[in-house]
């Protein structure tokens, strides 16, 4: 048996450090047509476009549908973190929107909080809800998780229907609009000679700003340490563990971030609708958000924006089609999964007119001392093999079928159960 | 306490067993499909709904033709419906799931959600969103047994459910095809090598599972009298719960799980009130998955199906 | 079968890193690994060989925490790591590659390697959201280190490509770079030579030696006997889950039990 004293304490041993890169890398692409810069500028242009829109048309109808569409995009951004980056199918995502909406609604109508003041509580409530829901279920296999989240979505909705604090089946009415430091949007305002009512002010100062922050925030998280951990868990959970990433905490963090995004969007939704009730949080809406993410492209920011705008604006743009849209969405979901699983705008899609990186210059192996040595060794060995080819005595590396069968069972029991 | 026993206990048990036999029928299909291809078929509850609507159409025609429907006609309709929903299940598998058999699990799950949506809103486009009145309802005397009110329709339906499960059980255990199913559930690759036609067995599994769900849908229609396009959603979720409680992939487990869930729900409703019934059920699901994800029979029964 | 640990300290280059004693794992009725014991020191290359189904990969999975052994212990440094989560084991300095390439398919080469630096990357959620100077510094360092490892393993492709766009040999290299980027004290390579051509195998051998020269202990599962004999300092032979030999390449070549295990009853190839 191992004698503990024989073995050195690990922290006494030094760890290897990364060597310096041997070659310089090609400079990153520059100019307007460099993909990253171009997409950033495009996003900025769209953001400014949305900002100046109220100056062009202040039609309450357009502002109203755009407000709900943008809130929808925000919700989809949150679900994208969970489904697109972390690969967790959440079929009850609307529950987090409900938690956010109800938290805001209750605090503002019963305790007189302004909407801005409710936001920290919304974030807190959603973190809590994420932990409560994700904690026990994220250890489960992915398909169990899907159906458990579905159940959780129903639990939240039914609970909201049954409790009196949430207003029961009729919900909460009279949720106020936003106000900053005593100035309420309800008063309206005149800017540059145009009168802005509460709806426009809310759109202008809250929805667009929140959407911009949510989009940039989600994209930044996806590119950093957390995002890499999420994607690695999505791609291969075992390999991810082998890289020192705790799969459970990585998934839980994605779940909580997703919950917070959804909850804040829910709070905005409560303001926009000014009344919330349980039917607004049915499974149907969870499914619609999922469709937005999947149709647009899981893990793709532009894709999710396009998908969410499509799903939310379709009934407005095509009136006669609104009856059929759910059926169509269902069919589309199946068709997309079969023929274009990465969605309309896949995560790694680059617009064709943008600059591409020049093909990497093949580095001559002679530049690398050890590679040159290896090449020589290989050639020497090759000669030797040819010399000895008459006296073939390779060691067999496979064994009879019976044992191979045992191998299939014993070496990889995970294959039997878990492999998708 | 004595009053509870005399007045409530047997009623609760009876109600639980009755509802549980419905759950068991639907859970069987869920569990069989899962056992064979490890797919959670979200559309399964919607097949149940589809079954009740198919029977709604046929029975409507029959009532128009014969003036009145009777139990024998109902049984014939039940058989036709089972064939149709079974065929529909096979179709779903061929069109939607087969092309994705080697895709990541997430893609297949999302497809299943799409299929579920398609069925639900397809039915809504045809029959509308409002509940429909089922054209035939079983009626009969109710009598008291140990303090529980038991009605004839309940007994008829339970006998049908029991019969269906018995037929299925003997098919799986005795027939050649049943053996192939069990083989694939254990090891699809080896079964393929042994000459089992995997595609055909999967089709057959979908057929049987969907036929059972369709039968449950017809029975629900005749018992409750009202059907709508979303009626499959909750029962699908509950059937999954039942399958998990019994040990998913395990046939006896699915039946047992259905009955256990029915009983749990019956007592839970009694204790908490009807409005909390679904919360209680899904709470049970989460509890079971967290504590014993293999279910009651999951680990003990070596033979999985 | 050796129950006690072989007195291998004589050949040791550095301190004792890994001590596997009496390791056993059982699936249903099958004993995949049955009483495996060996030591690995800093800067030592130990190979685990054996016919298919001998339990090599199962042993790897037990050592790295993916399987729960049914018997025996694994000590890494002074710690018993027998029942510890794989990610924790990695953080303590043990890293591995997989028999079938298991790169993160939908990530770029560079991101694959950067992922391995997860646990040492000092950036919190707010750094990531706000792109603070600390975030930029950490990411720049992380990128530079990842490039260093890619160059170290001789990766010659485009680091911005998705791994699925790479030829097989390059993917193998990326996997080793990724394992190295966790900065391991001990590296377990599961059939790194599978599917490589001659030149690539020779380069692999050179690479394994260079990793060893960093002071990393290496455990190698490999079928290519040429490679094993050439590169290893010690070889452990498994058959049907049991350890049948442990010794230097020369000893193993001469060991009758080994020859029988390989060439025994049935002829193959």
* CATH number of the domain bearing residue A195: 1.10.3470
* Pick among A3, A24, A218, A242 to test the C interface (most C CBs inside 10 A): A242
Structure-block tokens of residue C159: 């680091």
What pLDDT does B92 receive?
93
CA B302 to chain centre: 24
Structure-block tokens of residue C183: 């900065």
With beta carbons less than 8 A apart as the criterion, state whether B100 and B92 touch. Answer: no
Domain end, chosen from A339, A356, A380, is at A339
What pLDDT does B3 receive?
54
Contact state of B106 with A150 under an 8 Å Cβ cutoff? no
Q: Are residues A329 and A403 in the same domain?
A: no
Q: Are residues A318 and A380 in the same domain?
A: no
Whether residue C165 lies inside any domain: the answer is yes
Q: Are residues C159 and C37 in the same domain?
A: no
Contact state of A140 with B116 under an 8 Å Cβ cutoff? no
Number of domains in chain A: 2
Q: Are residues C55 and C173 in the same domain?
A: no
Q: Are residues A123 and A198 in the same domain?
A: yes
Q: Are residues A319 and A373 in the same domain?
A: no
Pick from A251-255, A275-279, B206-210, C2-6: least confident? C2-6
pLDDT of A334 above 60: yes
Whether residue C130 lies inside any domain: the answer is yes
pLDDT in tens, C203-213: 898 899 989 88
Structure-block tokens of residue A93: 């995502």
Whether residue A19 lies inside any domain: the answer is no
Residue from the list B117, B240, B279 with its beta carbon closest to the beta carbon of A155: B279
Whether residue A108 lies inside any domain: the answer is yes
Q: Sorting pLDDT into bands at 50, 70 and 90, what band is A305?
A: very high
Whether residue A11 lies inside any domain: the answer is no
Whether residue C98 lies inside any domain: the answer is no
Contact state of B279 with A330 under an 8 Å Cβ cutoff? no
Calculate the CA dihedral of residues A46, A47, A52, A56 and round it to 10 degrees: 40
Number of domains in chain C: 2
Q: Which residues of C touch A20 (CB under 8 A)?
A: 144, 148
pLDDT in tens, B232-287: 888 998 998 898 888 887 788 888 999 999 999 888 888 888 888 889 988 888 88
* Pick among A335, A337, A401, A413 to test the B interface (most B CBs inside 10 A): A337
Among residues of chain A, what percentage have pLDDT more than 90?
A: 36
Residue from the list A224, A246, A378 with its beta carbon closest to the beta carbon of C198: A378
Alpha-carbon span A290 to A298, nearest angstrom:
9
What pLDDT does A2 receive?
43
pLDDT in tens, A109-155: 888 888 888 999 999 999 999 998 888 888 887 778 888 898 899 99
Q: Sorting pLDDT into bands at 50, 70 and 90, what band is C249?
A: confident
Whether residue A407 lies inside any domain: the answer is yes
Q: Are residues C217 and C263 in the same domain?
A: yes
Contact state of A337 with B111 under an 8 Å Cβ cutoff? yes
Whether residue C156 lies inside any domain: the answer is yes
What pLDDT does A374 receive?
65
* Pick among A132, A279, A311, A334 to test the B interface (most B CBs inside 10 A): A334
Q: Are residues C115 and C143 in the same domain?
A: yes
Between residues C52 and C134, which one has the greater pLDDT? C134
Domain end, chosen from C178, C212, C236, is at C178
DSSP secondary structure, A326-380, as one string: HHHHHHHHHHHHHH-TT-SS-TT---TTS--PPPPPPPPGGGSHHHHHHHHHHHH
Q: Which residues of A touch B284 (CB under 8 A)?
A: none
Q: Are residues C87 and C188 in the same domain?
A: yes
The reply to whether C248 touches chain A by the CB within 8 Å rule is no
* Minimal C-alpha gap between A79 and chain B (Å): 14
Q: Are residues C215 and C237 in the same domain?
A: yes
Q: What is the separation, in whole angstroms, between the first and last Cα of chain A?
A: 39
Contact state of A333 with B187 under an 8 Å Cβ cutoff? no
pLDDT of A171 above 80: yes
Whether residue A313 lies inside any domain: the answer is yes
* Minimal C-alpha gap between A83 and chain B (Å): 9
Contact state of A144 with B120 under an 8 Å Cβ cutoff? no
Pick from A317-331, A336-350, C100-114: least confident? A317-331
Whether residue C243 lies inside any domain: the answer is yes
Domain housing A405: 369-419
Domain end, chosen from C178, C195, C220, is at C178
CA A32 to chain centre: 27
What pLDDT does A266 receive?
95
Strand C186-190 with C45-49, pairing: unpaired
CA A386 to chain centre: 55
Contact state of A148 with B100 under an 8 Å Cβ cutoff? no
Contact state of A229 with C201 under an 8 Å Cβ cutoff? no
Domain end, chosen from C151, C178, C205, is at C178
Domain housing C132: 103-178
Q: Are residues C6 and C86 in the same domain?
A: yes
Q: Are residues C87 and C206 in the same domain?
A: yes
Q: From A363, which residue of chain C is nearest by alpha-carbon distance?
A: C156
Q: From B279, which residue of chain A is nearest by alpha-carbon distance?
A: A155
Residue from the list B39, B114, B282 with its beta carbon closest to the beta carbon of A333: B114
Q: Are residues C189 and C169 in the same domain?
A: no
Residue from the list C75, C146, C178 with its beta carbon closest to the beta carbon of A7: C75
pLDDT in tens, C18-47: 888 888 888 777 788 888 888 888 888 999
**Three-class DSSP labels, chain B:** CHHHHHHHHHHHHHHHHHHHHHHHHHHHHHHHHHHHHCCCCCCHHHHHHHHHHHHHHHHHHHHHHHCCCCHHHHHHHHHHHHHHHHHHHHHHHHHHHHHHCCCCHHHHHHHHHHHHHHHHHHHHHHHCCCCEECCCCCCCCEEEECCEEEEHHHHHHHHHHHHHHHHHHHHHHHCHHHHHHHHHHHCHHHHHHCCCCHHHHHHHHHHHHHHHHHHHHHHHHHHHCEECCCHHHHHHHHHHHHHHHHCCCCHHHHHHHHHHHHHHHHHHHHHHCHHHHHHHHHHHHHHHHHHCCCCCCCCCCCCCC
CA A228 to chain centre: 12
Domain end, chosen from A297, A324, A339, is at A339
Q: Which residues of B touch A315 (CB under 8 A)?
A: none
Q: Are residues C172 and C121 in the same domain?
A: yes
Q: Are residues C8 and C38 in the same domain?
A: yes
pLDDT of A406 above 60: no
The reply to whether B140 touches chain A by the CB within 8 Å rule is no
Longest dimension (CA), chain C: 66
Q: Which residues of B touch A287 (CB under 8 A)?
A: 113, 117
A-facing residues of B in 26-45 (CB < 8 A) are 38-40, 42
The reply to whether C10 touches chain A by the CB within 8 Å rule is no
Q: Are residues A414 and A274 in the same domain?
A: no
pLDDT of A391 above 60: no
Q: Which residues of A touch C129 (CB under 8 A)?
A: 217, 220-221
What pLDDT does A372 receive?
66
CATH code at C58? 3.40.50.300
Q: Are residues A283 and A396 in the same domain?
A: no
pLDDT in tens, B11-25: 888 888 888 998 999
The reply to whether A321 touches chain B by the CB within 8 Å rule is no
Q: Are residues A378 and A236 in the same domain?
A: no
Q: Are residues A142 and A224 in the same domain?
A: yes
Q: Which residues of B touch A142 (CB under 8 A)?
A: 105-106, 109
Contact state of B290 with A327 under an 8 Å Cβ cutoff? no
What pLDDT does A367 receive?
54
CA A161 to chain centre: 29
Whether residue A344 lies inside any domain: the answer is no
Among residues of chain A, what percentage have pLDDT more than 70?
A: 83
Q: Are residues A153 and A64 in the same domain?
A: yes
Q: Are residues A156 and A282 in the same domain?
A: yes
Q: Are residues A118 and A185 in the same domain?
A: yes
Between residues B14 and A182, which one has the greater pLDDT? B14
* Pick among A132, A147, A331 to test the B interface (most B CBs inside 10 A): A147
Q: Are residues A294 and A408 in the same domain?
A: no
Contact state of B103 with A152 under an 8 Å Cβ cutoff? no
pLDDT of B35 above 90: no
Whether residue A32 lies inside any domain: the answer is no
Whether residue A119 lies inside any domain: the answer is yes
Q: Are residues C8 and C133 in the same domain?
A: no
Residue A356: CB partners within 8 Å, gap ≥ 6? A350
């Amino acid at each position: 048996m191992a004698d503990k004293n024989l073995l050195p304490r690990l922290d006494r041993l030094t760890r290897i450090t990364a060597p310096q890169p041997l070659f310089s890398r090609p400079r990153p692409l520059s100019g307007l047509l460099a993909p990253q810069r171009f997409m950033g500028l495009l996003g900025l242009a769209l953001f400014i476009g949305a900002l100046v829109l109220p100056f062009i048309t202040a039609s309450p109808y357009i502002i109203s549908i755009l407000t709900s569409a943008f809130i929808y995009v925000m919700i989809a951004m949150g679900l994208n973190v969970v489904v697109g980056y972390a690969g967790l199918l959440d079929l009850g995502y609307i529950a987090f929107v409900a938690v956010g909406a109800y938290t805001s609604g209750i605090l503002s109508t019963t305790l007189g909080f302004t909407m801005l003041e409710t936001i920290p509580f919304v974030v807190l409530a959603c973190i809590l809800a994420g932990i409560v829901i994700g904690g026990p279920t994220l250890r489960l296999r992915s398909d169990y998780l899907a159906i458990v989240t579905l159940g959780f979505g129903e639990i939240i909705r039914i609970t909201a229907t049954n409790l009196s604090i949430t207003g029961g089946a009729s919900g909460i009415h009279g949720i106020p609009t936003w106000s900053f430091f005593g100035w309420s949007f309800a008063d309206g305002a005149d800017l540059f000679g145009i009168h802005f009512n509460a709806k426009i002010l809310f759109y202008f100062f809250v929805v667009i700003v929140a959407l911009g922050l949510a989009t940039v925030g989600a994209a930044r998280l996806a590119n950093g340490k957390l995002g890499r951990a999420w994607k690695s868990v999505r791609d291969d959970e075992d390999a991810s563990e082998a890289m020192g990433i705790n799969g459970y905490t990585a998934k839980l963090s994605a779940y909580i971030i997703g919950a917070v995004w959804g909850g804040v969007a829910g709070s905005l939704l409560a303001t926009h609708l000014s009344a919330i009730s349980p039917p607004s949080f049915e499974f149907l809406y969870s499914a619609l958000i999922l469709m937005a993410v999947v149709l647009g492209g899981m893990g793709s920011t532009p894709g999710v924006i396009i998908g969410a705008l499509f799903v939310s604006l379709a009934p407005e743009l095509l009136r006669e089609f609104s009856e059929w849209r759910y059926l169509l969405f269902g069919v589309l979901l199946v068709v997309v999964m079969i023929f274009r699983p990465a969605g309309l705008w896949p995560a790694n899609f680059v617009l064709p007119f943008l600059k591409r990186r020049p093909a990497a210059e093949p580095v001559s192996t002679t530049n690398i001392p050890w590679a040159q040595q290896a090449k020589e060794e290989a050639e020497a060995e090759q000669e030797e093999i040819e010399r000895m080819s008459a006296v073939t005595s390779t060691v067999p590396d496979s064994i009879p079928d019976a044992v191979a069968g045992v191998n299939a069972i014993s070496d990889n029991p995970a294959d039997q159960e878990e492999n998708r | 306490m004595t009053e509870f026993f005399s007045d409530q206990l047997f009623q609760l048990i009876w109600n639980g067993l009755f509802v549980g036999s419905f759950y068991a029928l639907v859970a069987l299909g869920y569990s069989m499909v899962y056992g064979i291809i490890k797919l959670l078929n979200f559309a399964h509850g919607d097949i149940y709904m589809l079954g009740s609507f198919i029977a709604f159409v046929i029975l409507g025609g029959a009532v128009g033709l014969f003036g009145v429907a009777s139990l024998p006609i109902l049984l014939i309709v039940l058989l036709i419906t089972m064939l149709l929903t079974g065929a529909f299940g096979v179709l779903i598998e061929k069109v939607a799931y087969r092309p994705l058999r080697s895709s990541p699990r997430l893609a297949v799950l999302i497809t299943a959600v799409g299929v579920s949506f398609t069925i639900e809103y397809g039915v809504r486009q045809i029959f509308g969103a409002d509940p429909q009145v089922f054209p035939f309802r079983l009626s009969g005397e109710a009598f008291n047994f140990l303090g529980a009110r038991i009605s004839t329709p309940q007994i008829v339906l339970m006998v049908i459910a029991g019969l269906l499960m018995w037929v299925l059980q003997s098919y799986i255990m005795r027939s050649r095809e049943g053996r192939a199913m069990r083989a694939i559930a254990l090891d699809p690759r080896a079964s393929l090598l042994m000459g089992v036609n995997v595609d055909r067995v999967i089709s057959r599994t979908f057929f049987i599972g969907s036929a059972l769900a369709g039968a449950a849908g017809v029975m629900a229609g005749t018992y409750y009298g009202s059907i709508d396009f979303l009626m499959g959603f909750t029962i699908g979720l509950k059937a999954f719960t039942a399958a998990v409680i019994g040990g998913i992939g395990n046939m006896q487990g699915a039946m047992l799980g259905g009955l256990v869930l029915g009983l749990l729900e019956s007592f839970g409703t009694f204790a908490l009130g009807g409005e909390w019934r679904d919360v209680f059920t899904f709470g049970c699901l989460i509890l079971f998955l967290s504590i014993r994800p293999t279910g009651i029979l999951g680990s003990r029964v070596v033979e999985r199906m | 079968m050796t129950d006690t640990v072989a007195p291998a300290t004589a050949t040791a280059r550095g301190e004792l890193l890994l001590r596997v004693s009496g390791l056993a794992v059982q699936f249903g009725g099958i004993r995949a690994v049955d009483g495996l014991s060996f030591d690995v020191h800093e800067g030592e290359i130990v190979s685990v060989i054996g016919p298919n189904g001998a339990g090599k990969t199962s042993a790897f999975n037990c050592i790295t925490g993916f399987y729960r052994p049914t018997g025996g212990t694994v000590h890494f440094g002074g710690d018993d790591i027998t029942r510890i989560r794989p990610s924790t084991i990695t953080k303590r300095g043990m890293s591995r590659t997989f028999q079938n390439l298991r790169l993160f398919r939908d990530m770029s080469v560079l991101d694959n390697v950067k992922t391995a630096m997860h646990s040492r990357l000092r950036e919190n959620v707010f750094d990531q959201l706000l792109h603070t100077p600390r975030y930029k510094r950490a990411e720049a360092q992380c990128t530079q280190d990842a490039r260093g490892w890619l160059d170290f393993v001789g990766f010659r492709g485009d680091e911005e490509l998705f791994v699925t766009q790479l030829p097989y040999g390059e993917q193998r290299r990326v996997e080793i770079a990724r394992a190295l980027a966790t900065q391991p004290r001990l590296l377990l390579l599961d059939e790194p030579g599978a599917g490589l051509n001659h030149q690539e195998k020779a380069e692999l051998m050179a690479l394994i030696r260079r990793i060893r020269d960093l002071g990393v202990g290496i455990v190698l599962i490999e079928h290519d006997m040429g490679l094993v004999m050439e590169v290893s300092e010690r070889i452990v032979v498994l058959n049907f889950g049991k350890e049948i030999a442990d010794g230097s390449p020369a000893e193993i070549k001469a060991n009758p039990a080994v020859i029988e295990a390989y060439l025994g009853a049935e002829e193959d190839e």
